Structure 1
Amino acid sequence: MATAYGYIRVSTDKQATTGISLDAQRAKIQAWIELNGYEFGGIYEDAGISGTKQHRVGLDAVLSVANKGDAIVAYAISRFARSTKHLLEISEELAAREIDMVSVSERIDTTSAAGKMVFRIMAVMAEFERDLIVERVTGCLANKKARGERIGRPRYGFECSNKTLTVNDNEQGVIARVKKLRKEGLSWRKIAAALCEDGIKSRTGKVFMPSQLVRMIDAIPDCYKLFDSNVDSVTVCASQ
């Protein structure tokens, strides 16, 4: 009996909750494998990894484990890759090894000439969709920048309201403590541990990582340097 392996992927943690989650992809793939009479060989996953990356741990693993006559099944061809070139490279590699490539949602595979044709069309459409997203996001950011609006969240210690950057007193207190502990000779790791012991967490409610503390103190943008003891707020500059 031929073996079928599943491959699942989400690009971000947000997509895992608002898009097609890993669990949803897993369920669809397992149902397809059972329905089509394959032996289940397991499911390989890449969580929080973009489809534009050619080398992914989960993808590389499933490509290496499958053998002649087996099938690799994904929820959609966009899970394999977002680039038409990369998708075709994967399909050609698997075709040469006589391994089937299946997309559950599009109901296509590469076991026939018709399936190969549809696959190539879908690969082009997947890349087109990604290019449209990039184009829209780029245009949106350019418009916001031209209007003098801030792009992204303010760095730790500040907050933005009605296009105005203001000091966040609580976060500034944390910054002051980090600076003090650093002057006392503590390593970034020990400072992170000290904050954790006192229940001080990041904006996301997680424990501070040493790298976050470094970014918190170092490389403050010029826009933020406009603050001094006599200034409470400043309109966000267009360069930010």
Structure 2
Amino acid sequence: MKQRSTRVVAYVRVSSEEQAMSGLGLADQRATIQRAAELRGWPDLTFISDEGFSARSLDRPGITDALGQLAHGQAGTLVVAKLDRLSRSLLDFAQLMDTARRQGWELVVLDLALDTSTPSGALMANVMASFAEYERALISQRTSAALQMKKSQGARLGRPRSLDPAVSQRIMADRADGYSLTAIANALNSDGVPTARGGRCWFPSTVAGVLRSVALDREAQARSA
């Protein structure tokens, strides 16, 4: 069995609005992580940062680099000072924990005292993953309820001429939370949500088309305002 790397990747992040706020600066995060490294005996610590990026999505160069190193076994642990430095989405965080489990690296979140290498940390990770799954189920339930309401009001769901607004909102919310086009399409297919033309199968290109359509509608509304 291949031995896991002892190298620790420390991830720090600030958005442009937060750079001047007390307790959220890069120096504060680095100092917190450095103290933890000394207490835990982490000899090989590398800092990776994202400056001026929001945590609403994982589409950031720094975290992409960090996750790539972990996936390729170049590091064995990812540590952050605060959970919101890594992600503000419970669903995203649950997905990261699942990735860590599958790829065999550990995740440490200092403000939550979460360390997936310990039994208590693994338990907390499972609890948070359960809440994330519950949140996903609620979103699916709301989408299904909205479609059923339309059906009860006489709307034709078999081959609708346009996409139900509830579905558009779901797609926009999932994309804002950092989900890929493929992941969104798979979730819609799993829930049996029809496409705008009544089709039974969503593709990444179909999801992208909805996102473009919503963006164009918003742009048109802004011009006419």
Q: Normalization by structure 1: what TM-score?
A: 0.47
User: Which structure features the higher share of helix residues?
Assistant: 2
Higher RCO, 1 or 2 (CA under 8 Å, sep at least 6)?
2
User: Which structure features the higher share of strand residues?
Assistant: 1
* Structure (1 or 2) with the larger CA radius of gyration: 1
